[in-house]
Structures are given as structure tokens and as C-alpha cells.
Amino acid sequence: MPLGISPTVDFAFKKIFGSPENAEALIGLLNAILDLNQPITYVEILNPFNYQEFAEAKQIILDLKARDDAGRCLNIEMQVSIDPGLLQRMAYYACCLYVDQLSIGEPYAKLNPALSICLLNQPLFSQSSQSHHRFQMVDIGSGRRLPDAIEVHTVELTKYNLQEATVGQASPIEQWAFFLLRAHQYEAERLRELLPAVEFRRAITVIETIAAKTEDKIMYDQREKALRDFQWAIESTREDALKEGEKVGEEKGIEKGTLAGKIQLLQEMLGDSVESTSDLSQHSVEQLTSLLSSLQERLRTRGG
């Protein structure tokens, strides 16, 4: 019987990669993405998995913070939808990790690289077949990189080859894409045959435990439903905005309607007073965009 547990659901993702006892899985994922000359051999998870984090959470919790044996500071995130300002937010997180390393009076030479890694289960750059983008601080003229600084990685999982017949000979990152997007379709033993490396065996054991343990499965189901509801709300908001934009007939009606709907959704999730569509429509697109960004950051901060 298939496991039925998707690693992209926040409860499963955080338990697999955010539990200290499962560090092998996180190390394997990071080495596959970063492809370093000196592979990572140790990670300290700075916001480890705990049940209380999910017990009363309404928001989607899909990121974790870690530090590796070379001192690199890492923010790893599984993104289930592409929101406005995604790349800016990832850059902001990397900057926060970079700045937070130093105490007052400490020399800047002590700073280690800060990396923000975003795994996506849908295309971000739809016009490109490139699956992994690595953004660094680079001089445009010479190509010279600023060392030990800030990086942002985006990994579009659906752009990798996800065929069962070839996964055994695939690159590590392709194998992780296969695991993240297709693990729920397989029985545990078959998955171990397809992905025999120790880091995958650790990850498979975790989702097998979730599937078998009553309390974990109940919480997983709750989080999966929350994720579906969140995505449904976003899609409904988009559809409603399109209808509203057509009704109003204004050039920016659709954009305003979309922003207003997302703002109302986030206000409800945060427990704020929900502003009416008519009140929000009085603001400019720029003002609505700024308000949406601030609400998204509040939600993300509350979830981290």
C-alpha cells in the first residue's frame, strides 16, 4: 500500500529535515543542492521540529534554519505557492541571517556566508528550462564574486526528470526532487529500492513512521487540509478578482481585486480586522502591494 505521505506538506517536511535525529537527510539535501567542493558533514538545526509548533498553527510552516560545519547560515524553505515578492523575501532572509551573526564590537571578518534556499513545487521562471538558479553578489563587469557573502537558491522541482526508470542513475538533486514530489505514491520498500542511499533511507523511515503512527497521521491530515484550504483560498481569490475586474471594467481592477483578496485572506489568518473590498479599493496598487508584503512578513515571522 502506498505511503500516502507527501514530504511537501509542512508537518512531514519539517519532521524529515528539521529533526536533529534525521540530520543525515538534511545534509544529503543540502549537498545535492549546493554541490560544494567540500561536502557538508554536520548541521546544527536552529529551529528544530516540535509538535507544539503545529498544534494550533493556522499558517503554513515550511522553512527551517541551520548552520553547517563550515559556519554557513542556511534558511531552507519548501514553497507551495509563488507569492509576489518571493525572491525579495528570500534575499531578505539571507540578509537577516548574515547580519544576525555579529554582536556589537565583533569584526566583520567573522561573518560567514548566508544562504537562502527555496524549493518550489511549481515553475518560478516559466520561460526557462533551468531548474536550479544560484544568485550571488557578483561584479557585472569582471564576473568577480564577493566571497563569504549572500546567496539565494531557487530549485524548481517539477523541472527535473521524475521518471522511475532512470531515478537510480539520476543526479542527487534529481533524486531528491523525485522523493519530494512522488514519495507518497510508493510503498516504503519500493522507495528504498529506488533510492537506496542512507540519507533517503532516513527520510523514508520518517514518512513511514508518520503513516503508521496515529497521532502523527492525524496531525499530518490536518496540515494537508490546511494546505489545500490555503491554496483553494488563493485560487478563489484570484477567480473572484478576475470577475470583479471585469465587472468594474477598470484597467487596474483585476490587479487591485487580486491584491485586496489576498490582503483579506491574510488579515483573517492573522486574526486582524478584515477590511472591506470597497475600502481597500480606495488605495493605489502600490499601497496595496506594500500592505500585502507587510502582512506576508508578519505571517512568515509568526510561522518561523
pLDDT level of residue 12 (50, 70, 90 thresholds): very high
Same domain, yes or no, for 222 and 160?
Answer: no
Euclidean distance between CA atoms 115 and 84, whole angstroms: 20
pLDDT at 231 over 70: no
- Angle subtended at Cα 274 by Cα 78 and Cα 248, rounded to the nearest 5 degrees: 95
On whether the CB atoms of residues 164 and 174 are closer than 8 A, the answer is no
Q: Is 4 inside any structural domain?
A: no
Question: What's the burial of 269, exposed, middle or buried (CB within 10 Å: 0-12/13-18/19+)?
Answer: middle
Same domain, yes or no, for 45 and 81?
Answer: yes
DSSP three-state, residue 69: coil
- What is the mean predicted confidence (pLDDT) over 40-67? 80
Same domain, yes or no, for 113 and 252?
Answer: no
Same domain, yes or no, for 48 and 142?
Answer: yes
Euclidean distance between CA atoms 199 and 136, whole angstroms: 28
pLDDT, tens only, 221-230: 887 777 666 6
Euclidean distance between CA atoms 268 and 187, whole angstroms: 39
Same domain, yes or no, for 244 and 258?
Answer: yes
Phi (first) and psi of residue 59, to 5 degrees:
-85, 165
Q: Is 5 inside any structural domain?
A: no
Bridge pairing between strands 150-156 and 132-136: antiparallel
On whether the CB atoms of residues 211 and 224 are closer than 8 A, the answer is no
Same domain, yes or no, for 21 and 168?
Answer: yes
If we measure between CA atoms, which residue out of 178, 180, 133, 137 comes closest to residue 155? Answer: 133
- What is the mean predicted confidence (pLDDT) over 255-260? 78
Range of the domain at 295: 218-303
Q: What is the largest CA-CA distance in the chain?
A: 59
Q: Is 2 inside any structural domain?
A: no
Q: Is 3 inside any structural domain?
A: no
DSSP 99-117: HTTPPTT--GGG---EEEE
Euclidean distance between CA atoms 230 and 61, whole angstroms: 12
pLDDT level of residue 273 (50, 70, 90 thresholds): confident
- Give the per-residue pLDDT at 247: 54
CA 30, 32, 38, 39 dihedral sign is positive
Q: DSSP state, 145?
A: B
Domain count across the chain: 2
Q: Which residue would you say has higher pLDDT here, 224 or 237?
A: 224
Same domain, yes or no, for 74 and 193?
Answer: yes
Bridge pairing between strands 150-156 and 43-45: unpaired
pLDDT, tens only, 167-206: 989 999 999 999 999 999 999 999 999 999 999 999 999 9
- Give the per-residue pLDDT at 232: 60
Same domain, yes or no, for 50 and 168?
Answer: yes
pLDDT at 237 over 80: no
Same domain, yes or no, for 199 and 254?
Answer: no
Q: Is 109 inside any structural domain?
A: yes
- Give the per-residue pLDDT at 236: 59
pTM flag (> 0.85): no
Which range has the worst mean pLDDT, 68-77, 146-155, 242-251, 257-266? 242-251
Q: Is 19 inside any structural domain?
A: yes
pLDDT level of residue 216 (50, 70, 90 thresholds): confident
Same domain, yes or no, for 244 and 120?
Answer: no
pLDDT level of residue 249 (50, 70, 90 thresholds): very low
Q: Which residue would you say has higher pLDDT here, 294 or 234?
A: 294
- What is the mean predicted confidence (pLDDT) over 209-218? 88
Which helix (H) or strand (E) segment is 152 a member of?
strand 150-156
